[in-house]
Amino acid sequence: MAPEHRSRIDGLLRTLELTDTGARTSADIFTGPSHWMPNGRVFGGQVLAQAIRAASYTVAEGREIHSLHGYFVRPGDAALPITFSVDRTHDGRSFSTRRVQAYQHGLPILSTLCSFQDDDPGLEHQAEMPADLPEPETLQSAHEFLGASDFEAMRRLASEFPFDLRHVPNSIYFTVDDEQVAHQAVWTRALGEMPDDQAIHRAALAYASDIGILEPIFRRHGIALTTPGVKTASLDHAMWWHRPFRVDEWLLFVTESPSASGGRGLSLGHYFTRDGVLVATVAQEGMVRHPRFAPPRS
Active site positions, annotated: 210, 234, 284
70 and 237 in contact (C-beta within 8 Å)?
A: yes
Report the DSSP pairing between strands 28-32 and 183-190. unpaired
Determine the angle formed by the axes of helices 3-16 and 152-160, rounding to 10 degrees. Answer: 80
Q: Is 126 helix (H, G, I), strand (E, B) or coil?
A: coil
Gap between the Cα atoms of 153 and 162, Å rounded: 16
Number of other CB atoms surrounding residue 28 within 10 Å: 21
List the alpha helices (DSSP H) in the chain.
3-16, 44-56, 142-147, 152-160, 198-209, 215-220
252 and 212 in contact (C-beta within 8 Å)?
A: no
